[in-house]
Structure 1
Amino acid sequence: MDKFNFWDFGVIDFIDVFLVAILLYYIYKLIKGTVAINIFIGIIIIFLAWKLTVFLKMGLLSQIFSGFMDVGIIALIVVFQPEIRKFLLMVGSTNLSSKRKFLSQLKFLKTEEQNQTDIDCIIAACTKMGSTKTGALIVLERSNNLDFLTGTGDEMNIGVTQPIIESIFFKNSPLHDGAIVIENNIVKATRVILPVNNEKNIPQRFGLRHRAAVGITEKTDALAIVVSEETGQISYIKNGEFVMFKDTIELSELVKKDLA
């Protein structure tokens, strides 16, 4: 077999490597911080063990690992069902006709000149609304395009500030029902209707806002911040799970890290 020659590495090979790198990056983004990352690492270990047994010509073990890998694809579909759904949604929602939107999908290519969401003012608004027990549901868009949701509400193009968020969710405001969607420090839409999760067991103290937050963060990679109308408590939901935090300072740091 001919040896690999570096000088034979052409444009197609570069594109091949680049696309594989993007694919691996998206997979990492989808499973980062979830239980699936441990399963993924376990699969890699089994794959490497299989290749090692083949290399060492360990017939019995290699056949066992080979049989496991043959049927493993079905198990992967079952285990990674939520992640596969998110990945397909991510691919389907990529808007190639808009250069800005396409770059927003490739977050690792973002430049410093692009606006970053002002998390501190969002948290400050949530703290103020919590003190008055004003309910709120804020969805922060990440890689997945949420334009399919904005059509259910009123499309906006407003810069994010603390007074703007508080005025939107003010109890007498016509915009306070539903969720708001924020992308790159812009309120894209208000009064957005989100899919409600009725399958997961959520404590009864949490209402429809929390179920909606769980639903949208399960189906997409978006983040959600909820202010309870009953208790004034602030909740942070990611990947369909409640993320615990000690105070608003830690909450702000968590959200900033997840949006990075």
Structure 2
Amino acid sequence: MADLWNNLRNVFGTVLPQDLLDIAIISYLFYQVAKLVRETRAAQLVKGIMILLLMSVLATQLRLRTLSFLMENILQTGLVVMVVVFQPELRRALEQVGRSQIGKLKFFSSGMDEGEVRERWRGFVDALVEGAASLSRQKIGALVVIERNTRLGDIIKTGTVIDSGPSAELIGNIFFPNSPLHDGAMVVRDGRLHAAGCFLPLSDNSEISRELGTRHRAALGMSEMSDAVVVVVSEETGFITVCRDGKLERGYSVERLRQYLTDELLPEPSEPSEKKFERRKAKKA
């Protein structure tokens, strides 16, 4: 017993703080990778790799030279094949890393006071909710992408820049049937209607209901490749749908949509900034 205790003490006596940090980081990375691939087709790839590794070990232990040769070559070329075949999943994983708390560090400031930011987004939420309610009643389709931390310059280039202040009337006019920009998506940047008629990437998610058309598939695809909030109005049913982080939720009421957008888009107020903005408004009045 004393020998066992001495052996354990000798082993753990050589463990340095950086070794514990190293183990913690590797464990966290393995956990994040497992969480990312768990609900994608990449999960099957991981199972396949584990089976090949097991076969390679067995072939080596049993001295099966031909099988060992094949397994070694398969595993050496497997990495390249994996990158090519699973490029969408790898890209999505890297984008999720970029949208993590570390990736949200801001290096540039908009120069706007917090109260001004809240006021602008509050005006946008009012305009979008009113516009969506009107379009829903008339069963006119709409697709609105609200840009957040991930910049959508490549999406904006596919449409027409309008850079207008938000209004329910303008939203309704853009999506009115047969208008020049009604088929594409509207992109909102910094609380302004920045572009319209934009083309979005379609989701390749095979679990999407067949009842949902191209507009919903595009909304889901946009939410999979960015941190944008996407609002959809169905032209068949008039239902309002919200997509975010690759998840789609249908049947939003007007009140629920307003509350959701308010919670997601309006920054938490800090008392000094709010008072400063109110004083500035009073001076202008």
Closer, same or farther: CA 246–129 of 1 in aligned 2, 3 Å: closer
Deviation (angstroms), 1:139: 0.6
Give distance in 1, aligned partners of 2:261 and 2:150. 16
Give distance in 2, aligned partners of 1:242 and 1:257. 18
Q: TM-score, normalised by structure 1?
A: 0.64
Picking from 128, 131, 134, the partner of 1:128 is 134
Closer, same or farther: CA 66–188 of 1 in aligned 2, 3 Å: closer
Give distance in 2, aligned partners of 1:229 and 1:139. 17
Closer, same or farther: CA 249–230 of 1 in aligned 2, 3 Å: same
Q: Which has the higher helix share?
A: 2
Give distance in 2, aligned partners of 1:167 and 1:132. 13
Deviation (angstroms), 1:233: 0.9
Counterpart position of 1:240: 246
Counterpart position of 1:153: 159
Within a 5 Å distance, the mapping from 1:1-260 to structure 2 comes to: 70=26, 72-80=28-36, 82=92, 84-88=94-98, 102-104=108-110, 111-114=114-117, 115-116=120-121, 118-243=124-249, 247-260=253-266
Deviation string 1:130-154 (CA, Å, 9 cap, x unpaired) is 1211110001111111112100111
Give distance in 2, aligned partners of 1:246 and 1:148. 29
Give distance in 2, aligned partners of 1:137 and 1:121. 14
Kindly indicate whether the alpha-carbon contact (under 8 Å) linking 2:201 and 2:221 is maintained by their aligned counterparts in 1. Answer: yes
Deviation (angstroms), 1:246: 5.7
Give distance in 2, aligned partners of 1:94 and 1:170. 39
Q: TM-score, normalised by structure 2?
A: 0.59
Give distance in 1, aligned partners of 2:220 and 2:228. 10
Deviation (angstroms), 1:184: 2.5
Give distance in 2, aligned partners of 1:205 and 1:215. 16
Kindly indicate whether the alpha-carbon contact (under 8 Å) linking 1:93 and 1:144 is maintained by their aligned counterparts in 2. Answer: no
Closer, same or farther: CA 162–73 of 1 in aligned 2, 3 Å: same
Counterpart position of 2:45: none
Kindly indicate whether the alpha-carbon contact (under 8 Å) linking 1:123 and 1:252 is maintained by their aligned counterparts in 2. Answer: yes
Counterpart position of 1:24: none
Give distance in 2, aligned partners of 1:205 and 1:236. 16
Deviation string 1:84-109 (CA, Å, 9 cap, x unpaired) is 4134379999996xxxxx325x9xx9
Deviation string 1:52-81 (CA, Å, 9 cap, x unpaired) is xx9xx799xxx9x98686455244235247
Residue type of the alignment partner of 1:196:
L
Deviation (angstroms), 1:225: 0.5
Q: Percent identity?
A: 28
Give distance in 2, aligned partners of 1:252 and 1:192. 24
Kindly indicate whether the alpha-carbon contact (under 8 Å) linking 2:148 and 2:228 is maintained by their aligned counterparts in 1. Answer: yes
Gaps of 5+ in 2: 1-8, 37-89, 267-285
Counterpart position of 1:37: none
Gaps of 5+ in 1: 1-53, 97-101
